[in-house]
Amino acid sequence: MKLPSFYLRSSMLVASLVIQLLITAVVSGGGGTTSSSTVAALKRYNAMFTFGDSMEETGNICAASSNKTELDVLTCTHPPYGETYFGRPSCRWCDGRVVIDFIAQALGLPFVPPSKAKGKDFRRGASMAITGGTAMNFSFYRSLGIEDPVWNHGSLDTQIQWFKELMPSICGTEQSCKAYLRKSLFMFGGYGGNDYNVQLLELDLTPLQAMNYTPKIVTAIANGVEKLIALGAVHVVVPGIFPTGCLPIFLSLFGVAAGETDFDGTGCLKSYNRLTEYHNSLLRKQVAALQQKHRNSTRIMYADYYGLVYQMVQEPEKFGFSKPFEACCGAGGGKYNFDVTARCGMEGATTACHDPSTRLSWDGIHPTEEASKVIAGALLRGPYCTPPILG
């Protein structure tokens, strides 16, 4: 199969490159100059392939599910989701673009289509991410007594299988795929958030109890990276997870009964953040080991979501945000504006805050488009991605 060329020296491509350089400067918050590393990165990637959960969702849950009741429960199909950028719900858990959308734009790539969509051209990218995605296979959680199908939409291993099934249409033979994927960017997660949601919200485990499963979860993520490398991936971003104890959903569910000493000086729940820190510390070590093992053949990048988002919570004004603990969309009221029975998109909760661009949290779980833009910029140029995507 002949590979498509994306580097024809036509005037149209030159114009497109200039536009994308400007986009990169805007996303990263940089000045008017463009570094040689930026130009190199734009030439480097011919496609982007993404994996993960609702943080990276671009439509798989809508393309894969024919259950209208389920889609009604998964309110990303309802207004006001999508209002900021798309003007309608786009099956993203956001008011507009998510992190991977900004990264795609900065690299001169189209928005990555959901891999379950019909009739799409996936040669420039595809998203395997799906709402409810977990690092561990569902059989593991079924063994713990979990039956809720929301956690069985597509685990890490399942998403890798979806990608393998797409490969012939993307790049042809195994040999040609090795060459093609070498010039593609892989965003692998962050996985783990839903694994802890299952344990904390479904099994009612304490954060300390959930730590018992962290080594298994992190090992599954590391094994997943190895599987991608075996398929031909060279440039792989492996994100950690957000500070759970700072999310409005956890603050509303567990903060009411918490004592003063259960909160840190910022207002986050300490025990839930300790769980996240433990996960991310083990993941950093695994990524460092993978970087060393594959140092001559791959470029594996660790994305520190925790460090960046926690700084945004600590110093929201520095990033142009206010009320970092209050969901922009929802009808929960109170300090966090989150209620499981009055979530964003549900009846009575279809109007967002006046200006979502000033908020960190969109629906109490997922970041706003503006927060996603900040996160994408930090991954593209650093310092919260090691090494940066554009490094």
- Could you give the residue numbers annotated as active site? 54, 363, 366
Q: Which two tokens stand for residue 363?
A: 């629906």
What is the SS3 string spanning the chain? Answer: CCCCCCCCCCHHHHHHHHHHHHHHHHHHCCCCCCCHHHHHHHHHCCEEEEECCCCCCCCHHHHHCCCHHHHHHCHHHCCCCCCCCCCCCCCCCCCCCCHHHHHHHHCCCCCCCECCCCCCCCCCEEECCCCCCCCCCHHHHHCCCCCCHHHHCCCHHHHHHHHHHHHHHHHCCHHHHHHHHCCEEEEECCCCHHHHHHHHHHCCCCHHHHHHHHHHHHHHHHHHHHHHHHHCCCEEEEECCCCHHHCHHHHHHHCCCCCHHHECCCCCEHHHHHHHHHHHHHHHHHHHHHHHHCCCCCEEEEECHHHHHHHHHHCHHHHCCCCCCCCCEECCCCCCCCCHHHECCCCCCCCECCCHHHCCECCCCCECHHHHHHHHHHHHHCCCEECCCCC
